[in-house]
Amino acid sequence: MNAVDDYQQAWQFLDQLQLFKIKLGLDSMNHFLARLGNPQSRLKCIHIAGTNGKGSVGATLHSLLTAAGYKTGFYTSPHLSSVRERFKIDDTYISKKDFARLISKIEAMLDGRQITYFECTTALALLWFAEQEVDFAVLEVGMGGRLDATNVVTPLVSIITNVSMDHEQHLGDTLAKIATEKAGIIKQGVPVVSAVADDDSGEVIRQTCAERQAPLLLFGRDFDGNSDGNVWQYRGLDGQKLHNLPMPLKGGHQISNCSLALAAVQLLQRLLQRQGWTMSEEHVRIGLAQTRWPGRLEYFRTAQGQQFLLDGAHNPAGAAALKAALINDFPRQRLLLVWGAMADKDIQTTLRDVAPLADVLILTKAAESERAAHPKQLAAVLPETLQAKATCAASVQVAIEQAKKMATQDDLICISGSLYLIGTARRLLLGGLTDEEE
């Protein structure tokens, strides 16, 4: 059997694990990793939780560490098109061969025991990073934090980006309850970097840090950043200021995300300076300039000159960030909005927040899944004034073709509402990030 066949079988095995519903808890994960030799114990980790911005912070931190010459693993979720996008070392995604080999190892070690999809991918990431002897492993929490499969690590630095409403059915229906789950990644004595707001969620994070004697460094208090057009300035933990820094990621919210990444780097430098760890200002500038985070306020022009913006805004905070970016960062003649969402999300708040900006609104099904909201379901949450300019498309491809036929080169086609939708749209417009189609 060749490597491609092995890979397809491994992917099929992993997909079958989605039949096992979300299971929050660490006992089975700890037992399973012990059988695998506890690969997490051999890693220097940076652990990232939060409602929004986890991926952007992780991508920025990964780029900074890679630019400084450190072999850096990055584990993120969800993926857009291929599961291999979740596992990256420096600029390279995991190969089909390594993916298949490690899935086979995990399957054999299970010996008939049950494991969830996310537990399996987390174990794979930890195994691969340990095997490849990375200098650092940047790990993004899947959901929550306290009972998330990634919370088996004791990191060098913990990051909590922010806390807002999302996944209420699993994490709780108040900011304080959700923050309690996020705060679960805080370990005894491990420093925490955060941009949490001064509200109930911030109080939970502060109290937890105090209880666990974990130094808390807050954006806006201990470090800061502010924008000046296409560049920005950073005020660091030691008062050092960096001016005219590049900002390749779009949106005003990226100032805090990049600041979190730089503060984490400064903490690593303090913790590891006796081991000769260093990062120069040149590395910082190169790392920031090279940061990419596909599907999140990702702007491009096609060969035909049409403008596209892809953004996986799937919760109220994400929709608010998209709205602000559309108002401030993307001039255009008209806005053609293609929207699809999952039915278990707050579709009323998110869609109603962004839809008024649209000159044309095309509603579609985000994915071929029972979880995906039907276009008519999306239309029903809109006020009558917005329903009048909305049309429904049977598929993502049909929606994109409709938008392309209507748009001029001065218009902007924005596709948003779900990362499932973005994955399909990006593959149709730009191809995959990995070589799945080969």
391 versus 345: which is more confidently predicted? Answer: 391
The predicted structure's pLDDT at residue 1 = 39
pLDDT band at 437 (very low <50, low <70, confident <90, very high): very low
* Amino acid 297: pLDDT: 95
Kindly write down the DSSP assignment for every residue of 35-62, as one continuous string: HTT-GGGG--EEEEE-SSSHHHHHHHHH
Q: In the chain, how many domains are there?
A: 2
Here the CATH number for the domain that contains residue 138 is: 3.40.1190.10
Is 39 part of any domain?
A: yes
Mean pLDDT of 231-253: 92
Residue 166's pLDDT band (cuts 50, 70, 90)? low
Residues 131 and 151 in one domain: yes
Residue 346 confidence class, pLDDT cut points 50, 70, 90: confident
pLDDT of residue 26: 87
Q: Which CATH number fits the domain that encloses residue 331?
A: 3.90.190.20
Q: Are both 312 and 230 inside the same structural domain? A: no
Q: How much is the pLDDT for 186?
A: 98
How confident is the model at residue 102, as a pLDDT?
96
Write out pLDDT tens, residues 361-380. 999 999 888 889 999 999 99
Look at residue 438 and tell me whether its pLDDT is greater than 60.
Answer: no
Averaged pLDDT, 208-231: 94
Give the pLDDT score at 2.
47
Give the mean pLDDT of 382-403.
95
CA distance 121 to 341: 24
Residue span of the structural domain in which 395 resides: 298-430
Strand-pairing partners, residue 412, are: 307, 335
Residue 382 has pLDDT above 90, yes or no: yes
Q: Which of 16-20, 75-79, 207-211 has the lowest mean pLDDT?
A: 16-20
The answer as to whether 437 is a domain residue is no
The pLDDT tens digits for 284-341 are 999 999 999 999 999 999 999 999 999 999 889 899 999 999 999 999 999 999 999 9
Whether 131 shows a pLDDT value over 50: the answer reads: yes
Strands (E) across 155-240 are located at 157-160, 192-194, 216-218, 224-228, 231-235
- Residue 436 in any domain: the answer is no
Q: Which residues pair with 299 in a beta bridge?
A: 309
Q: Predicted confidence band at 21 (pLDDT cuts at 50, 70, 90)?
A: low
90, 66 contact by CB (below 8 A): yes
pLDDT score of 235: 97
Are 250 and 333 part of one and the same domain?
Answer: no
Can you give 370-386 as a three-state secondary structure string?
CCECCHHHHHHCCCHHH
More confident residue, 422 or 20: 422
Judgement on whether residues 285 and 302 belong to the same structural domain of the protein: no
pTM of the model: 0.93
